[in-house]
Structure 1
Amino acid sequence: MEQTAKDIIYVLLWGDLPSTVRGLASCQRIRETYPRAKLILLTAPDYEALLKHCPYFSQIETDATATGAMAKLTAKRIKAVKPKMIYDLVGDADARRIKGGLRFSRIKWIDAAPRIREGEHPVEAAAAALGRTGMGPDQFRLGEAPSPDVSWVDYLARNSRMLEPEYFGLNGSFVLLAPAGEEVKPNLRWPRERWASLAEALIAEGLIPAIVGGPSARDTGRFVAETVREARDLTGKAKLVQLAGLARRTRFVFGEDTDLLHLLVAAGPPAAGLYPDGEPLELKAPRGASPVVLLHAPVLAQLTASEALQAMRVAGGFEESPRAA
């Protein structure tokens, strides 16, 4: 019996790491709504190494933000594929350019880009945007919308020891510490001495502190590792997918207001975020399956390592958690 071809659906998603991670919650809902469709992710190259492992998509294309002649080829290629519809989760100039290139086609363009209203978290805004397209409720109270979930890295970890804690020398229970990098002004960062004090306190609790982040956080990572012998400096040494894998096995995540914190929290561990005073923290906090405690102060140096440790206790970071499957 001849089978009919699967419906092809494009999903447009790109931006910085927080918006990309949050957008995965919308991608999951689209996949659940169209379980048999061929979902093609159209994105930018920035996070291809992470997104190519996401099981929601059948295929990934990375020329969404191409310019010049290459930009015209993007729309031409999409036309040739003849997708049933395109879900736009971005709504920026690049998305509008692609839409313009498809104006004479019969492809259904679905605007599902979040429009954040006052007092609304981006996760609720994204879920409401999908709801307005007919996919579930179109209104959510703060904290109601499904959180982004990158637990799918467990499947990759089964076949790659590079996602195992032991690959990074973490033999035993560990905590991920995510300091801000040099791109943040020193007066807006937690002093590296505080990070070292927290690392010492964690070791006294029988936990290995592992400092994670990009190359810009190396100064703090090196300082902590040199000051506290048992600490592990992983700054600049792990890819995003590896960090997501570590976050699936960690007891806790503690970090400053960094892009990376959103990915680590989406992996599911309890967490605490350290923020300077400013806009309402509940409207910018990372989202995941476990509690996230928000700490703030006019000057971050006012917060002590013991206060950070207490935040971990409140969120459940010292309770035994099951090892990821």
Structure 2
Amino acid sequence: MTDAARDTIYILLWGDLVDTVRGLASVDRIKAAHRRARIILLTSPDYEALLKHCPHFTGVETDALAEGPAGRLMVKRIKISKPVAVYDLVGGPIARKIKGGLRFMKTRWIDGRPAEAGGHPIDTAAATLGRAGLGPDRYELGAAPGPDIAWIDYLARSSRMLEPEYFGINDAFALLAPAGDEVKPPLRWPKERWATLASQLLDAGIIPAVVGGPSAREVGRFIAEVTPGARDLTGKAKLVQLAGLGRKARFVFGEDTGLLHLLVAAGPPALALYPDGEGDPAYRAPRGASPVVIMHAPTLAQVTPEEAMQAMRYAGGFDRAPRAA
């Protein structure tokens, strides 16, 4: 697929952090097919601070969810830009409104949404794009490349705020990403387990750094209080900083959270915890460049820190250096 130098292409991508990170795998595929095009991301403000650093985008527009006059101006602006193609990675009424505004133009509308069932969203989204001419139209489970945010390295070279030393971490470290208090206790790993794991990591010469939003602060504070040497970064690091830390972490361990998907996309090996009874976790687990070990149990408390340590060793987190230069 070739493009004129000034062709404009829009990518529609918004939603929660999981949807956004998964969508970046499709963005990689689209950019590879349109290397010379001017690619504009239409999204919401939620993750602008992270996405504006992605080199695949010529520009990032954040009024996707605008309503009333602002919403009409958004559609008009897209129409004036005369895009040769729009890649819809989200669907829904807003996408339909934009499509309707372009109905008399020669813009190619390409559905890149993942299938609702029948596979992992990254695999099914890649297959959907394949049917539009961007690669194979079928992928086995795990075959489609996952999102890769290695481009965060370029920002890290000019901002020490993305460096582990900025957070007081000067040696090998792992990122622990517990779920916040918005998740029901039976679906969370007990904080005592987290603290024991942190202690075992320190004994192995790896600094445990607890990350997450404000809702995870209770777990972060508990770990730091009972495990001297652990770092509590909950509520203290922005997403772009966490992506930078993920590039240099030995491995990541967490429950099924949006943040875990971002950290895995940064490249380290990972261990993901899932409770039973919610379907096969292989069809929703995070994807990245390194192995992701999935552990599940009827209740997460049944998983022991010793089992978690063994799984991390199996994933290679104890014997490999960080991916970032």
- 2:315 counterpart of 1:311: no
Structure-2 residue corresponding to 1:256: 255
CA distance in 2: counterparts of 1:116 and 1:287, whole angstroms: 18
Deviates more, 1:29-38 or 1:97-106: 97-106
Partner SS, residue 195 of structure 2: helix
Deviations 1:116-173 (A, max 9, x none): 332x000101101100111111100011101110111001100000000000111100
Structure-1 residue corresponding to 2:281: 281
The Cα of 1:80 is off from its aligned counterpart by 1.0
Structure-1 residue corresponding to 2:186: 187
The Cα of 1:322 is off from its aligned counterpart by 4.2
Partner SS, residue 290 of structure 1: coil
1:29-48 matches, within 5 Å, as 29-48=29-48
CA distance in 2: counterparts of 1:322 and 1:102, whole angstroms: 46
- 2:111 counterpart of 1:124: no
Unaligned segments of structure 2, at least 5 residues: none
Identity %: 66
1:174-213 matches, within 5 Å, as 174-213=173-212
CA distance in 1: counterparts of 2:98 and 2:35, whole angstroms: 25
* 1:64 partner amino acid: A
The Cα of 1:202 is off from its aligned counterpart by 0.2
The Cα of 1:90 is off from its aligned counterpart by 1.0
Aligned length: 321
CA distance in 2: counterparts of 1:24 and 1:111, whole angstroms: 15
2:176 touches 2:252 (CA, 8 Å); kept in 1?
yes
The normalised TM-score by structure 1 is 0.97
Partner SS, residue 11 of structure 1: strand
CA distance in 2: counterparts of 1:320 and 1:140, whole angstroms: 29
The Cα of 1:187 is off from its aligned counterpart by 1.7
CA distance in 1: counterparts of 2:244 and 2:300, whole angstroms: 29
1:134-149 matches, within 5 Å, as 134-149=133-148
Deviations 1:228-267 (A, max 9, x none): 1100000010011110100000001000111110000011
- Taking a change above 3 Å as real, the CA distance of residues 322 and 185 of structure 1, as seen in their structure-2 partners, is closer
Root-mean-square deviation (Å) = 1.1
CA distance in 2: counterparts of 1:92 and 1:200, whole angstroms: 46
The Cα of 1:81 is off from its aligned counterpart by 1.1
2:250 touches 2:322 (CA, 8 Å); kept in 1?
no
* 2:99 partner amino acid: K
Partner SS, residue 254 of structure 1: strand
CA distance in 2: counterparts of 1:298 and 1:75, whole angstroms: 48
Structure 1 runs, 4 residues or longer, greater than 3 Å off: none
* 2:73 partner amino acid: L
1:44-63 matches, within 5 Å, as 44-63=44-63
2:212 touches 2:259 (CA, 8 Å); kept in 1?
yes
2:5 touches 2:36 (CA, 8 Å); kept in 1?
no
* 2:172 partner amino acid: S
* 2:115 partner amino acid: R
Structure-1 residue corresponding to 2:109: 109
1:72 touches 1:101 (CA, 8 Å); kept in 2?
no
Unaligned segments of structure 1, at least 5 residues: none
* 2:235 partner amino acid: G
Structure-2 residue corresponding to 1:21: 21
1:12 touches 1:43 (CA, 8 Å); kept in 2?
yes
Deviates more, 1:203-212 or 1:313-322: 313-322
CA distance in 2: counterparts of 1:186 and 1:303, whole angstroms: 14
- 2:90 counterpart of 1:94: no
Deviations 1:290-309 (A, max 9, x none): 11111111111111111111
CA distance in 2: counterparts of 1:131 and 1:97, whole angstroms: 25
CA distance in 1: counterparts of 2:82 and 2:96, whole angstroms: 18
CA distance in 2: counterparts of 1:323 and 1:237, whole angstroms: 24
The Cα of 1:79 is off from its aligned counterpart by 1.1
The normalised TM-score by structure 2 is 0.97
Partner SS, residue 275 of structure 1: strand
Deviations 1:189-235 (A, max 9, x none): 11100000000000000010000000000000000001111000000
